[in-house]
Amino acid sequence: MADPLSTVFAALADPTRRAILNMLLEDDMAVTDVAEPFQMSLAAISKHLATLADAGLISRERRGRVIWCKLEPDALRNASVWMQGFGQFEPVDLDAFERFLETELATEFADDSPAAPD
Amino acid sequence: MADPLSTVFAALADPTRRAILNMLLEDDMAVTDVAEPFQMSLAAISKHLATLADAGLISRERRGRVIWCKLEPDALRNASVWMQGFGQFEPVDLDAFERFLETELATEFADDSPAAPD
DNA sequence: GCAATCGTCAACCGGATGGTTGAATATCGT
DNA sequence: ACGATATTCAACCATCCGGTTGACGATTGC
């Protein structure tokens, strides 16, 4: 299909998928458990997981009835490295980091929160 | 529209736009000059530049007749920082970096090369 | 074997995306 | 003022994307 870098970035360009990655950061999870906090259907989450797996960001392994999803940081690292190539000429600004984290916590948790807004 | 992080990743998820960023890494450029190496229409490039500007990855400044495009690494750094949050638990492997650069040079230049394949 | 559970597949829908072309706008040079 | 240059706008088109629902396949447990 598309080049790997495009696939990874496209996979990251969705708050639901980034939230899933965040969840998988804590632990491997079954598809149903991944889907549980979200409002959308299981099929939708299944598609998101397929997208993440296509990008190499996660792997899925069937064990009995349940399919376990596991973070695969390698693809992410490639993209990160690509970015660092750009950022290279200017070192990471830790102040900007903190400022970013604040705004990101605000927006991301508003947009991505798996908790139903009800 | 969407949250900033999604916008940045979506902007990066296109080889043409990444190639443009690569070009702007060298120097600021006029829109026409950005478009010159590509096969697509000027309008298409103009849209790509708008996408990049929306994501905050570039800025455009009109000086006379010509609009100069300039890389704005801040948005990229935010995304990079987000990624590093994921990669944190495992440090960047410089060997992997080099290996990646090779394959990326191969694929990126096959897919993204501004030079007409003719 | 049968019912329940886990997950995907297929078809569909509306809206975004990436491209085109042609007209419109803005600026420059004469 | 006019023509040329630089860039965008608008309309259009095909395709992709994120979601839905309903049927299907696989596995478990009774």
Q: What is the pLDDT of residues B53-96, one digit of tens each?
A: 999 999 999 999 999 999 998 888 888 878 877 655 444 444 45
Residue A118 domain flag: no
CB contacts < 8 Å between A and B, how many? 117
Range of the domain at A38: 4-110
Of A29-38, A95-104, B57-66, which gets the smallest average pLDDT?
A95-104
What is the rounded distance in angstroms from the CA atom of residue B29 to the CA atom of residue B106? 25
**Mean pLDDT (whole number) for A45-58:** 98
Give B63's strand partners: B66
Residue B38 domain flag: yes
What is the rounded distance in angstroms from the CA atom of residue B84 to the CA atom of residue A86? 14
Residue B22 domain flag: yes
What is the rounded distance in angstroms from the CA atom of residue B8 to the CA atom of residue A103? 15
Residue A105 domain flag: yes
Amino acid residing at B69: C
Asked if A67 and A29 count as a contact pair (C-beta separation under 8 A), the reply is no
Q: Provide the number of structural domains found in chain A.
A: 1
Residue B103 domain flag: no
pLDDT score of B7: 97
Residue A15 domain flag: yes
B4, B6, B87 ranked by CB distance to A80: nearest: B87
Q: How many angstroms separate the CA of residue B118 from the nearest CA in chain A?
A: 21
What is the rounded distance in angstroms from the CA atom of residue B71 to the CA atom of residue B59? 7
CATH number of domain containing A11 = 1.10.10.10
Residue A96 domain flag: yes
Tell me, what DSSP letter sits at residue B83?
A: H
Torsion A61-A67-A68-A71 (CA) sign: positive
- Between the two ends of chain B, the Cα-to-Cα distance in Å is 39
Check pLDDT > 60 for residue A61.
yes
Residue of chain A whose Cα is closest to the Cα of B109: A3
Residue B97 domain flag: no
Q: How many CB atoms lie within 10 A of CB B25?
A: 13
